[in-house]
């Protein structure tokens, strides 16, 4: 509990300090106006919350890397890391979702790349093509998965805490996108998909699918 709260403070302490300072300046002169930064203080704690997640113990699962709503599931050519056709699952995060990103499975970070871009609303279909992005490629038992953090109109700061060569555990926190955004995950063709467009998902908890050739192992 305390460790989760300390992570929240680590992420947003500068916002909290600023809001406390504004409230302290306003209260002696305009007490009613001091309610505004006080309310924003509480909202900031809510926005950057780090709730406990029940991470499935089965290592065969591909977990959601983000909270939000499934916007699309399609097949694309992923030419950065996987370098072959892949299934892309796009997740939109509203301002009310938890914005921490989590590793979809256990593995090793083999690729990281930051791409500058624009900041159009993340729910627009072409946002993925032109918005600022950060790519995280993970290899697990020969399979390649890639997570893509995408900024939006409000979300203009990507934080990634996963480094090249780092070994990740399934559901481990790997970054955050601040204030409304999108996340994509690219998984191998042939993976069993357990979600559909419109589904609500939770990072590190919702099972998006199972990697190819592992479905029989899960059934045992």
CATH code, 116 = 2.70.70
For residues 82 and 148, membership in a common domain is answered with yes
Number of domains making up the chain: 2
Task: From 153, 137, 174, select the one nearest 7 (Cα to Cα).
Answer: 174
For residues 106 and 162, membership in a common domain is answered with yes
Place of tokens 């998006």: 208
Residue 217 included in any domain:
no
For residues 65 and 26, membership in a common domain is answered with no
For residues 43 and 75, membership in a common domain is answered with no
For residues 204 and 118, membership in a common domain is answered with yes
For residue 134, report the phi and psi dihedrals to the nearest 5 degrees. -135, 130
Task: From 129, 139, 130, select the one nearest 81 (Cα to Cα).
Answer: 139
Residue 220 included in any domain:
no
CA atoms within 13 A on the CB side of 53: 27
Q: Are residues 102 and 63 in contact, defined by beta-carbon separation less than 8 angstroms?
A: yes
Per-residue pLDDT, 2: 45
Residue 32 included in any domain:
yes
For residues 41 and 65, membership in a common domain is answered with no
Residue 80 included in any domain:
yes
Which helix (H) or strand (E) segment is 85 a member of?
strand 84-93
Residue 81 included in any domain:
yes
3-class state of residue 204 by DSSP: coil
The yes-or-no answer on residue 94 being catalytic is no
Residue 140 included in any domain:
yes
Per-residue pLDDT, 129: 67
Which range marks the domain in which residue 82 is found?
61-211
For residues 37 and 89, membership in a common domain is answered with no
Per-residue pLDDT, 95: 82
Per-residue pLDDT 10s for the chain (220 aa) are 545 655 666 776 777 899 899 999 998 898 899 999 999 888 888 888 888 999 997 778 999 999 999 999 999 999 999 999 999 999 998 888 998 999 999 999 999 999 886 656 555 556 566 678 899 999 999 999 999 998 865 545 788 999 999 999 999 999 988 765 789 999 999 999 999 999 999 999 999 999 987 554 455 4
**Pair of tokens at residue 54:** 């029940």
For residues 181 and 98, membership in a common domain is answered with yes
For residues 70 and 42, membership in a common domain is answered with no
For residues 68 and 127, membership in a common domain is answered with yes
**Which listed residue (90, 103, 181, 191) is catalytic?**
181
Record the pTM: 0.83
Residue 53 included in any domain:
no
Residue 56 included in any domain:
no
For residues 140 and 92, membership in a common domain is answered with yes
> Would you call 126 exposed, middle or buried from its count of C-beta atoms within 10 A (0-12, 13-18, 19+)?
exposed
For residues 139 and 80, membership in a common domain is answered with yes
């Amino acid at each position: 509990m305390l460790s989760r709260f300390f992570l929240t403070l680590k992420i947003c302490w500068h916002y909290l300090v600023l809001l406390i300072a504004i409230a302290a300046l306003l209260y002696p002169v305009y007490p009613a106006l001091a309610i505004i930064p006080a309310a924003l203080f509480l909202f900031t704690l809510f926005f950057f919350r780090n709730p406990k997640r029940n991470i499935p113990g089965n290592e065969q699962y591909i977990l959601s890397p983000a909270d939000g709503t499934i916007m699309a599931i399609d097949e694309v050519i992923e030419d950065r890391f996987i370098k072959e056709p892949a299934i892309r699952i796009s997740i939109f995060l509203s301002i009310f979702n938890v914005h921490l990103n989590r590793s979809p499975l256990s593995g090793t970070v083999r690729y990281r790349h930051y791409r500058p871009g624009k900041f159009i609303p993340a729910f627009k279909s072409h946002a993925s093509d032109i918005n600022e992005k950060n790519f995280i490629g993970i290899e697990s038992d020969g399979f390649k998965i890639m997570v893509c953090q995408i900024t939006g109109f409000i979300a203009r700061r990507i934080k990634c805490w996963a480094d090249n060569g780092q070994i990740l555990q399934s559901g481990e926190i790997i970054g955050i996108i601040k204030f409304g955004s999108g996340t994509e995950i690219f998984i191998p063709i042939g993976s069993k998909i357990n979600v559909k467009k419109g589904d609500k998902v939770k990072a590190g908890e919702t099972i998006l699918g199972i990697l190819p050739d592992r479905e029989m192992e899960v059934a045992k």
